[in-house]
Structure 1
Amino acid sequence: MTSSHDSQDCSKIIHQIFTFIDNELEQADCAVIQQHLDECGPCLAKYDLERTVKALVARSCSEHAPDSLREKVLVRIRQVQVTISESGTDVG
């Protein structure tokens, strides 16, 4: 399919991709973007990439550190706090 889109059209679509992915656009705007994506391979590829990255980040952010790691980090923070207070350094 031959695309009649120019770089300005594509720039506008790409600028709205995150809002489109999050379903935060008006229905009419969604229809325009969906039609553009159906007709423009490069924008569709960018959309697919952004959607994939967003899904990976969302999945990664929902994971929790193991309790043993959390405890090690807290112990290290306390050690640093003690070292700072013993040296009399004012960090605040």
Structure 2
Amino acid sequence: MTDCGCTKAKAELEEFLHNELESHDAADIREHIAGCSDCSSELHIGVVLTEAVQRACKEVAPEELRDQVLFSIRQIQSTH
């Protein structure tokens, strides 16, 4: 493996986070991140954001809110 450098690591960070890279590319980025505090910080931010989005997608709005939103949509649709 060779150090891929910050440019490649940052450019492919999103794919790396989602395990969408070829194994050799992922290994190069993993190796680079292990020795680069800047890219390691970028990875940490990406992990935190990804986990927050995943948690938010699991939450369900209260039934009352859903009913209010649907009612408002129907009112708007009836006037257009």
With normalisation by structure 2, the TM-score equals 0.87
Structure 2 match to 1:31: 27
For residues 32 and 52 of structure 1, the distance between their equivalents in structure 2, rounded to whole angstroms, comes to 22
Would you say 1:66 and 2:62 are equivalent positions? yes
Q: How many residues align?
A: 78
Distance in 2 (CA, whole Å) between partners of 1:72 and 1:32 is: 50
Between the aligned partners of 2:28 and 2:38, the Cα distance in structure 1 is 16
Mark the structure with the bigger radius of gyration.
1
Give 1:61's aligned amino acid: C
Cα distance, 1:9 vs structure 2: 2.2
Q: Percentage identity across aligned positions?
A: 35
Out of 13, 16, 22, which is 1:17 matched to? Answer: 13
Task: Give yes or no for the alignment of 1:44 onto 2:40.
Answer: yes
Q: Distance in 1 between matches of 2:58 and 2:7?
A: 32
Q: Partner residue of 1:80?
A: 76
Task: In structure 2, list runs of 5 or more residues that go unmatched.
Answer: none
**SS of 1:64 mapped into structure 2:** coil
1:53 aligns with 2:53: no
Two-structure CA RMSD over aligned residues (Å): 1.7
